[in-house]
Chains A and B, each alone.
Chain A
Amino acid sequence: MAHTWLQGIRVLDFSWAAAGPYATLLLGFMGAEVLKVESRQRPDLSRRGFYSPAPLDASPEFHDLNVNKRSVGLNLSHPQGIELVQRLVPHCDVVVENFRPGVMQRLGLGYETLQALNPRIIMAAAAANGSTGPESAYPGYAGVFNALSGLGHLTGYADGPPTELRISMDLRVGMTLAFAVLTALYARRQTGVGQYVDLSAREAICCLIGHSFLHYTMNSEAPQRQGNDNASYAPHGCYRCIGQDAWVSIAAPTEAAWQALCQAMEHPEWQMDRRFRDVASRVEHRQALDALITAWTQQRTADAVTERLQQVGVAAYPTMNSATLAASEHLQARGAFLSVAHPLLGPQTVLAPFWRSSRSVQQAERSSPLLGEHTREVLRDLLNMTEQDMARLARDGVIECAEMPSASTGDADARKDRT
C-alpha cells in the first residue's frame, strides 16, 4: 500500500472488471486491506485481459488494477462458501459489489443480513442503473451507460455520429464509488454504524456533465456535440503536426493570448485581419483561422509547438497517447509511474495514484495476487481455521487456494448474474 491513510480498514471486495476494482484499487493505495473474493469458475474479466488475452495468473491489465489486493478463493454457489463470507463480515469494514441488483440478496448476502452480522459494515453496490427503478434489472456495460448518460451524444464531430467512450467510463464510476465509500467511512466516525450505498453508473456520469442539462431545464434546449470547438472563443482546437497521427491542442481565451500567438507563429498580420479583429469575429471565422494555424503547426512537432506557445504564455499541449505519456519527462519527474514486481510477469510498470502527499509515510506496493493466493492465510488469521478444515473445504470445492487447486465445481447461473 502506498499510504497509511486507511490503515486498519478492511474491504471485502466482490467486484469485478474495471469499475469496482478501480474503486478498491484507490482504497488499497490509501492503505486499506482489500480482500478480493474470486473463483476460477468466474474469474475477474481483467484476468483474461481487456486488449490482449492473458493467462489468469499473468495478466498485466489485472495486475495494474489489482495491486495491493489479496485474493480469497470462495465458491459463492456453495452454501458453505456463503457461510464463510458471513463469518468474514464481522472482521470487515466495507463490502463492495457490482453484481446486478438482487444477486447479493439471492446469495444470502444482502445488506439486511450483513448489517445484522456487523452493524458497522458499509455495503457499497454499483450497478448500471442503481438498485431501484423500472430499468434497474437491465444489463449495463460501459458503452451502455456512456450512451444513456448523455456523454456519448456530446462527444464527437458536430457533423458526425455520437461517440463510444469505453474503459474510462468504468473507471469514472469506480472513482465515484471510492468517493461514496470514503464518505460513508467518514460518516461512520460520527454515527458509529455503517450504511448501504446504492450507486447508479448512469447517474454517476450524468453528474460529471451536470451543467449541460441546465440548457434543457432552463431553456428547453439540448446541447449538441461540437468537436473541439468552444462557442465563446477561438482559436480553440486541435491541429496537425509533423509525424504520424501527431496533433497539438491550442486555446487562446484572451486578447493578450491571441496577440502572443500571432507573434509566436510569426504572423503579426493576423492581428490586423478584419476576420480576426475580436473574439466574436474569430469564432465566426474559425475555419479560416484553423487552416492558417494548421499551415504553421504542420511544419513542426507537437512538442516544438507546445514549447514555443508556452514560452509566450499561450495554452498549448500535445494530444497525448499512451506512448507519449509514458515517455513524458514531466510525469516521470512527478513519480507518476511505479514498478511493481509480479511473481510470474516480473517487474511491471503501473500507474501511481493521482495524488502526491507531503507526508512521506509510505510503504512499497504489494503485487496483485495470484487467484486464491491468500485464501488460507485469511481463513487462518481471521477465522482461526485449521489446515484440516481448509483441506476439506478445498476438496469439497468451497474454497480455492493457489497452491491447493480445488475440484472444479461451478454454477453457470451464478455467472449469468454478473452485471
Chain B
Amino acid sequence: MALAGLHVIELAEGIAGPYAAKLLADLGAEVIKIELPPDGDVARQYGPFPDHRPHPEQSGAFLYLNTNKQSFLLDLEAPEGQHLLRTLVAHADLLIEDRPPGWLAARQLDYATLQQRHPALVMVSLTRFGQEGPQAHFHGTPLTTAHAGGEAFTLPGRLSLDLFPEREPVQPGGMVSEYDSGLGAAVAALGALLSGHGQHIDVSQQEVLMNLNRPVMTHYFAQGDVVDRQRGYAYGGTIPCKDGYVLLRPIEDNHWQALARAMGRPELIEDARFRTRQARTEHGAVLNSLIIEWAMQQDKVELYERIASTGCPVGYFATAADVVHSPQLAAREFFIPSPHLDLSQVRLPSAPYRLSRTPWTLRRPAPRLGEHTRTILASLQRLAQ
C-alpha cells in the first residue's frame, strides 16, 4: 500500500479534517481517529440514514468520510486522557487537528508541547481562518467559510441571474468547500512528511478556497476587474433539454461543425452567422435558440452520447442517480460496496486516481464509536513498558 507505515492521529470532526485523514487512510496509512465523549464525531448525525432513521452508526457522511480508520473514544477534558494522547502522538508521524486556536494549548496538547517530546512530528492544523491573524478566532460554519473563500460571489452565474436578477450569491453545492479544505490539508501534510522534518503546518480553509480561483484573483491584481455573477458563455453553455440540462462547449470551428452535423443541420456550417468563433459569439443568442429547439426533443444522456462521440465537448448535468448509473463510472468500478456489516448493499465512491503499483483499497469500513479503544489502550500500555 502506498502509505504503509505512515502513522496518523486525527483529532477532527465533520467533513474537512476527517476527509484529509481519510485520503491518507484509504492509501494505507494507519489512522487513529480520536472521538470525544459522549457522542463522538458530529458527522454521525449528518446522515443520510437508511430509511431516514437517524442512527450514529449508519450516517452516510460518516461512513464515507471515515473508511479505513480506527476509533479511539478519549476524554480530553481529563488529564489522564490528555496524557494518553500525548503518548499516542509521540509514536505517530502526523497529527491532523481542527480545534479552535487555543483549545489544544489549554490541554497541554499544542505543538510547542508535543514537539518537545517528538521533534520529528508533523502537525497539520486545519481551521477556517488559520491559526494567526486578526480573524483567526472567528466563528465559522461551512456556509460562511464557502462565502469567505470567494467562489460564492461568482455563483450561480448569468443564466440564473437573468431569471432572478435581485437574488443572492450561493455557495458551491454538495459541501464541496469542506472537502476542498480537507484535500488541501492532505496535500500540505504529505509535502511536509516528505521533507523529513518535523514542523507545524497551518492551513486556512479560506486560503485553500481562495486558491481555487487563482486566475480570478490574478485578473483583479492585473486589471482591477472583479469577476462576478454576470459571467456567462456567449454561445453554448447550459442548454435545457427534454429531461434536464446539458453543458455544451462548441468552442472551436471543428466542434461547431460536429455539432451542426449531429443536429442534422449541416447547412448551418456555412451560415455566415456561425462560421467562425467570432461570428458565433456575435450571434450567440440566435445560435442558442436553434440549439435549444433541437435539444428539447431529446433526453440529456441521449444528447450527450450523440454529441460527445463527434468530438464536441459536452456534458450532462447529472443527478446522484445519473452518476451512480453512469456506464463510464461502472466500467471504472468507481462505486464499490461498503464492507460495513449491516449496510453491505450501500455503495460508496472510491477514489479518482488509479495507482498501478500501490492501489487504493477499502480494507475496513468506518469504525463504530470507540471500536478500537481497548486495543489502542493495550498497545499504549505496551509502549509504556
Contact = CB atoms under 8 A, between A and B. Distances in A.
Contacts of B167: 157
A190 interface: yes
B240 interface: yes
B140 A65 contact: no
B335 A217 contact: yes
Contacts of B144: 249-251, 315-317
A322 B150 CA distance: 7
Interface string B240-253: 10000111010000
Contacts of A157: 156, 160, 164, 167, 170
Contact of B2 (A183, A323, A330): A183
A320 B219 contact: no
B352 A351 contact: no
B215 A354 contact: no
Nearest to A65: B214
B169 A203 contact: no
Given A133-B332, A208-B179, A46 B320 contact: no
Interface in A323-350: 323, 325-326, 329-331, 333-334, 336, 348-350
Nearest to B126: A355
Nearest to B330: A133
A333 to B, nearest CB: 5
Contact of A156 (B156, B191, B354): B156
Interface string B346-371: 11110111111110000000000000
B147 A322 contact: no
Interface string A204-234: 1111111111111111111101111010000
Contacts of B191: 3, 5-6, 26, 30, 182, 355
A163 B347 contact: no
B139 interface: yes
Nearest to B213: A168
- Most-contacted residue by chain B among A111, A135, A178, A221 (CB, 10 A): A135
Contacts of A333: 132-134
Given A326-B217, A351-B214, A141 B313 contact: yes
A168 B240 CA distance: 23
Interface in A166-194: 166-168, 171-172, 175-180, 182-187, 190-191, 193-194
A48 interface: no
A197 B354 contact: yes
A139 interface: yes
Main secondary structure of the interface of B (DSSP, over half): mixed
Interface residues of B, number: 149
Given A139-B311, A155-B155, A208-B183, A183 B355 contact: yes
Contacts of B147: 238, 247-249, 317-320
B152 interface: yes
Interface string B307-341: 01101111111111111101111011011000000
Contacts of B199: 357-359
A222 B151 CA distance: 24
A63 B139 CA distance: 35
Interface string B197-210: 10111111011101
A351 B211 contact: yes
A313 interface: yes
Contact of B187 (A26, A151, A330, A349): A26
Given A187-B358, A195-B358, A354-B203, 18 more contacts: A6-B195, A18-B215, A52-B222, A65-B215, A130-B332, A132-B331, A133-B329, A150-B322, A161-B163, A167-B214, A186-B190, A196-B355, A202-B329, A247-B147, A321-B150, A322-B217, A356-B130, A358-B201
